[in-house]
Amino acid sequence: MTTTSAERTTGLLTDAQELAPQVTDLRHRLHQEPEIGLELPRTQEKVLEFLDGLGLEITTGTDTTSVTAVLRGGRREEARGAAGAAAGEVPAVLLRGDMDALPVQERTDVEFISRVDGAMHACGHDLHTSMLGGAAHLLAARRESLAGDVVFMFQPGEEGCDGASVMVREGILDAAGPRVVAAYGQHVMAGLARQGQVLSRPGPLMAASSALNVDVIGAGGHGSAPFKAKDPVTVAAEMVTALQTWVTRRVDVFDPVVITVGLLQAGTKRNVIPDGAHFEATVRCFSDQALQQLSRELPALLTGIARSYGLDAAVEFVPEYPVTVNDPVELERAAASAKELLGDERYQAMPNPLSGSEDFSRVLNEVPGAFLFLSATPDGVDPAEAAYNHSPLAVFSDAVLPAGTALYARLAMDRLEA
């Protein structure tokens, strides 16, 4: 029997609140023992332990320590051929939570501070994993009312390792049998808005990211006689500033690009001209057109500058994650679910995307879906002054765990009823 929106809301938040101690405990244990990259054995162990006994079909990754769990809904047979699924297929919805930490030395004063030197859950993935695990508990308790299946995607390697791409290659989108009809993810933010706000927008939500790696090839010499050498330092310096000028003169202001040089290396001593210089930049954009322009024009710009001084340059432009794009229909559904669950005032439409990037874009490139931000700003902290994600001082409030847990569950329930 089809359930109404009110029936799906009834008890969900209450159950999430009752489950909060277990979810919070998982979050704290993950935070104390962060792991980086694609291999997260202790994190995987904690997740598997938390899911034990729920009656899920669980598989683990081959090339990563990922966890895929499938929940079979009790009304799956009557749901065959539902909107978005092929005729005769049982619809399935994917929920994703990333699990990896960052190579950051934590400098907060939380009681459950990281015990691993040089590693920290500075981007809140410990909350994502815990909330998704909590949602598995909520949905397992409601399996008989589910009009289809739910795929839980516990993903390693979001931070620069493209773990989503690995899981897509290993078949996460087809884990339930037919391809999932929609996919949803959440990301906590340490200072985007007041605590508990859910934020998103249709279309581009987060930027594509690319790497720009440059080696300026010169000829060393004495600092007192630069005309007898080929100085790569001054050329590299000109390149760095030229990148910013290029942005202002070659890029449409309504299709923005961000280029930040975060690494610059050259030389060993003040009076020695080195043979070479090296710098690396992160490049962000919001459209395929801008990405194509960047990949074409930046190498030409930088090699041209080098040649004008009689030097060479090896320029590598490496696309990493694509633009994270919310399907408008799925975002509208997700926003409605958030409002009905938490209240209209708790959902906020974002006027602009963020220039951070996300490998959940790999999933959204394959199936329609939506990505939501959940503000976890600490109690009594002005979001404008809070330490941001990736900071060693970033703190994410446990108070949002019940809302995030319930929202994951509600997104799947509502989409299966669509």
Condensed to tens digits (0 to 9), the pLDDT of residues 335-350 reads 999 999 999 999 999 9
Structure tokens at 147: 């009009």
Cα–Cα distance measured from residue 417 to residue 413, given in angstroms and rounded to the nearest whole number: 6
DSSP per residue over 151-209, as a string?
Answer: EEEEE--TTTS-HHHHHHHTTGGGTTSSPPSEEEEEEEESSSSSTT-EEE-SEEEE-EE
By residue range, what is the domain housing residue 92?
A: 5-206+323-417
Structure tokens at 194: 């007041």
Same-domain check for residues 152 and 218 = no
**pTM value?**
0.92
Question: How confident is the model at residue 80, as a pLDDT?
Answer: 75
When divided into structural domains, the chain yields a total of 2
Same-domain check for residues 337 and 194 = yes
Cα–Cα distance measured from residue 124 to residue 122, given in angstroms and rounded to the nearest whole number: 6
Q: Look at residues 319, 346, 373 and tell me which one is the last residue of a structural domain.
A: 319
Quote the longest CA-to-CA distance of the chain: 86
Positions of the chain with pLDDT lower than 70, given as ranges: 1-10, 81-83, 87
Question: How confident is the model at residue 34, as a pLDDT?
Answer: 98
Cα–Cα distance measured from residue 118 to residue 25, given in angstroms and rounded to the nearest whole number: 22
Q: Look at residues 277, 303, 319 and tell me which one is the last residue of a structural domain.
A: 319
> Tell me, what CATH number does 85's domain have?
3.40.630.10
Cα–Cα distance measured from residue 299 to residue 314, given in angstroms and rounded to the nearest whole number: 8
Q: Any long-range contacts for 242-250 (C-beta under 8 Å, 24+ apart)? A: 242/301, 242/302, 242/305, 243/281, 243/298, 243/301, 243/302, 246/297, 246/298, 246/301, 250/293, 250/297
Question: How confident is the model at residue 6, as a pLDDT?
Answer: 61
Helical (H) or strand (E) element with 332: helix 328-342
- First-last CA distance in the chain: 14
- Strand positions, DSSP E, 232-320: 257-266, 272-273, 276-285, 312-319
* 8 A C-beta contact, residue 393 and residue 107: yes
Same-domain check for residues 202 and 341 = yes
Classify the C-alpha dihedral 352-358-361-363 as positive or negative: negative
Question: How confident is the model at residue 2, as a pLDDT?
Answer: 60
Angle ∠(351,356,359) on CA atoms, nearest 5: 115
In tens, the pLDDT along 166-208 reads: 999 999 999 999 999 999 999 999 999 999 999 999 999 999 9
Angle ∠(7,10,13) on CA atoms, nearest 5: 140
> Tell me, what CATH number does 252's domain have?
3.30.70.360
Q: Look at residues 319, 350, 381 and tell me which one is the last residue of a structural domain.
A: 319
Angle separating helix axes 401-417 and 125-140, nearest 10 degrees: 50
